[in-house]
Amino acid sequence: MKAAAQPIIVVRRKKAAHKHHGGAWKVAYADFVTAMMAFFLVMWLAAQDSRIRSAVAGYFQQPGLLPHEQSNGIMESGRGGIDAQGAGVLQRMPSGTVEAEQAALTSAAEHIRTVLGTGEFTALREQIELSVTAEGLRIELVERNGSSFFDSGSAVLRGESVRILSIIAHEIGGLPNDVVIEGHTDSAPYTRGEKYGNWELSADRANAARRVMETQGLHAGQTKAVRGFADTDLRFKDQPLDARNRRVSIVVRSQVAAALETAVREGQTPAPPPVKERTVFDPPASAGR
């Protein structure tokens, strides 16, 4: 007699769905990638020329110095931005150019300060401020209540103003740098009608300074721009009527900064210039600052 047939047993297992693990791993992975990118960036910077490292440091110290918002790149790129050797504008500058230029501007500022320190200019010398930055040499002729470089509400130079501008022009006329002259007013409304206001006054005062300086020492073509800002760039923003907001600024532009600005205007994306510690020639305490 044959044995009874063995029954066939079919086991059906139900597959349980995997539990959702969340997205925490994505955050951790992103942090890891960011850290690695920062690490390699630091390693790359450490291997670069000292001028490139200075340029990077300068950008984070004064990012708004030049209109280079088109790119935060360190090296130039784009239309004519890199030469055959891959060097940008900054790298093409002769070694020591930045240092030599700042030394020349500082020397000019010190000489102007020395000459204006004589007894001949007692009335207005305390209202002249000089500073050397990456922008170049900035000379500020700052108004005060009761002591002004111009007649009230006009662009007519008064007192020692012409002589002071002549000394400044004679000193900076021997430099190869471009000059930009700016005029500023306070926020007090101009009272001589609607056809003439702070815009016209600030531009006229800057032009008055230009005319004197061009006849007293600036070489041909040295003046590159005359700008009137009215009260859009107040020195004391919390005190818009303060007399010290009224000023004429003479900017002897750094050649390095000017070259970079030209490169930006032509469609390149150069590195910002290296920024050194600001050298300030402060006026005496009695100047009211």
Of 63-72, 217-226, 231-240, which range is least confident?
63-72
Residue 157 DSSP label: B
Arithmetic mean of pLDDT over the chain: 76
Instruction: Identify the bridge partners of residue 182 per DSSP, sorted by sequence position.
Output: 227, 249
Residue with tokens 């070259």: 259
Q: Give, in order, the Cα–Cα distances in Å from 130 to each of 4, 124, 142.
A: 114, 14, 11
Per-residue pLDDT of 91-125, as tens digits, reads 445 555 778 888 889 999 999 998 888 777 777 77
Per-residue pLDDT of 131-174, as tens digits, reads 988 789 999 999 988 888 998 889 999 878 999 999 999 999 99
| Model confidence band, residue 26 (pLDDT cutoffs 50, 70, 90) | confident
Span 244-267, average pLDDT: 83
Q: How many helices (H) and strands (E) does the chain have?
A: 7, 6
CB 227 within 8 Å of CB 206: yes
| Residue 156, SS3 per DSSP | coil
Question: pLDDT value at position 249?
Answer: 96
Task: Return the structure tokens found at 33.
Answer: 């990638």
Instruction: Identify the bridge partners of residue 150 per DSSP, sorted by sequence position.
Output: 157
Handedness of CA 89, 95, 101, 103 (dihedral sign): positive
| Residue 222, SS3 per DSSP | coil
Biggest CA–CA distance in the chain, Å, is: 141
Please give the Cα distance from 136 to 60 (Å, whole number). Answer: 18
Question: pLDDT value at position 52?
Answer: 64
Per-residue pLDDT of 30-58, as tens digits, reads 889 999 998 888 787 777 666 566 666 66
Is the model's pLDDT at 199 over the cut of 50? yes
